[in-house]
Chains A and B, each alone.
Chain A
Amino acid sequence: MSEANASATRITPGNALRPEDIALEVRTGLAKPTEDTAEYALRLGDDALILAQRLGHWISRAPELEEDIALGNIALDQLGHARSFLSYAGGAMTNDDGSAKSEDDLAYFRREHEFRSVQLFEQPNGDFAATIARQFVVSYYQFLLYSRLTESKDATLAAIAAKAVKEVDYHRDHAAQWVLRLAGGTEESRKRMIHGFRIMWPYVEELFRDDALTGRLAEAGIAVAPSSIKEDFDRLTGEVLSEAELEVPDVPAAPGGGRQGKHSEHLGYILAEMQVLAREHPGASW
């Protein structure tokens, strides 16, 4: 990261980047993403937002109080990352009145086909094992992605990733520990863990798909080419699966298409619930 870019985000060690800081930089013109960069930030923001919405459902329903707290924490971290990425993405998108789109404009006033999250993130929580299977894949993917994104030539993306990677590292540990416990616990928990992986695994392939946008941005040193972290993902998740004596599920990949706005049936319900109140009172402040 060059000195000039680093100073643009006012980030110093110990001074964590808040979504409000990014929104302020966007409003004052300090941070100005290109259209490509904004689209990329939107993808990562939507992934995190949809996952936060899914995980938030566990709060008050988890298998034990400690997990209400842990899953709530992970949801909160994801929501924080989403807010940062979306605030930044909005810097290259305008409302009808010419103002930059805010995190809330993007979260509450887009329709299904305008969301850019991959389909894994919108998959239903299922039982605790299914949620852990999704968490396991997601947190290794995000850990590798954000680790590399800290080197982005875009200072804002690098700063968001620098904060996020520390948090996602804990998510990774949480998921891996549960994979080991459930796979090595009882006969029932092992059966459920295997089932959880089988229903989530069809959506893994889509995470590592390159396209024209990531091609241009990776070339420019701004984004991480998804395919470039696949090998590390296979190796690191493979180590845990092997310790848990589990196989990588042999299931066909789903066609995916979330990055282009193609979603499963689930996203509509997520958005209907998430957006209902904000849409009842357009223009209101909360």
Chain B
Amino acid sequence: MAAQNLQSVPVELTAGTSETAEADGQANFDRVIAEDSRIEPKDWMPPAYRKTLLRQISQHAHSEIIGMQPEANWISRAPSLKRKAILMAKVQDEAGHGLYLYSAAESLGQNRDEMTDALIAGKARYSSIFNYPALTWADMGAIGWLVDGAAICNQVPLCRASYGPYGRAMVRICKEESFHQRQGFEILLELSNGTPAQKQMAQDAVNRWYAPALMMFGPPDDDSPNSKQSMAWNIKRFSNDELRSRFVGMMVEQVRVLGLTLPDDQIRFNEDSKKWEHGPLDWDEFHEVLAGRGPCNSQRLERRREAHDDGAWVREAAAAYAQKQSMTTKEYAA
């Protein structure tokens, strides 16, 4: 609010007043963070906080949109009509999550077109997990159970993120994600109790998705440069390793119910630290995929680019039509 009043202030005074406004803003921001309450779009916020949030929220939005692809890949071949309906609804939910998140990011001053352009130009990141291929129907189960499961562990704490629009978007997203995880679990359970070929398909999918899902929590804490500041700003609540350990503990229980195994013989509960531990992860592979050299990086981006380019004439037509309509309305009004 203070910034808008500056227009009436003589030029020579603005610099000093601006500094005062910034100091007031910073004080207010620090107080809100210390009280663990919420920053809203019109509140002053440090540029680095805004930048961090924009990076995180837009990456999250892009992940939802790119994440539609591996599952959309199986809509046409879903083996029963009920599964087809559930899968369609799930992929559609992901488009919806993308929309809420782009809206939350827009409240920080960047519009959706700019974010989309950055994505298709290969300049924006999205979760590396979606650069792995969904090869069999069981992957629909493994993605729901492991990938959405890991996403939930990451995202539940984000419901309390200090930035209001992000936290509120996450509340709704987490509700739907937990439904997605249950449907993934159910697909695997059905396969595990099915024919030997179906059970093998389920185990193979769990084997392939386990390690990439664990790496979704990000690099180990001693190699995660942005984590500390994000935790100080109450955006991030728990460290990567802490969340990963919790996730492993949950999966250990659930995989028994599934009648399957996790491809990791080093999982154990450390009585001293009271944390679950797992075997080594291939962080070189993680960095390779992150750098664009994963199995499907090029394919995923190309598909998004193609949809965007093929749809350009439609968006132009809609804009032209809307403009003509608003001119007609003005003519009537005149």
Contact = CB atoms under 8 A, between A and B. Distances in A.
Interface of A: 19, 49, 52-53, 56-57, 59-69, 72-73, 75-76, 79-80, 82-83, 86, 103-104, 107-108, 127-128, 180-182, 184-186, 188-189, 192, 273-274, 276-278, 281, 284-286
Contacts of B315: 63-64
A68 B191 CA distance: 30
Contacts of A192: 313
B82 interface: yes
A57 B75 CA distance: 8
B78 to A, nearest CB: 8
B197 interface: yes
A79 B84 CA distance: 8
Do most interface residues of chain A lie in helix, strand or loop, or is the interface mixed? Answer: helix
Contacts of B95: 59-60, 65, 68-69, 72
10 contacts: A52-B84, A61-B307, A68-B92, A79-B84, A128-B311, A181-B321, A182-B314, A281-B198, A286-B79, A286-B194
B192 to A, nearest CB: 12
Contacts of A188: 313, 316-317
Contacts of B75: 56-57, 59
Interface stretch (B65-73, B159-167, B238-246, B266-274): B65-73
Range of interface residues on B (Cβ < 8 Å) = 35 or more
Contacts of B79: 108, 277-278, 281, 284, 286
A179 to B, nearest CB: 11
A281 B195 contact: yes
B190 A65 contact: no
Nearest to A127: B310
A199 B316 CA distance: 23
A188 B310 CA distance: 13
Interface of B: 65, 68-69, 72, 75-85, 88-89, 91-92, 95-96, 98-99, 102, 137, 187, 190-191, 194-195, 197-198, 303, 306-307, 310-321, 324
Given A61-B307, A69-B92, A281-B79, A76 B85 contact: yes
A164 B186 CA distance: 28
Given A69-B95, A182-B314, A192-B313, A57 B80 contact: no
Nearest to B194: A284
Contacts of B311: 62-64, 67, 128
A19 B84 CA distance: 13
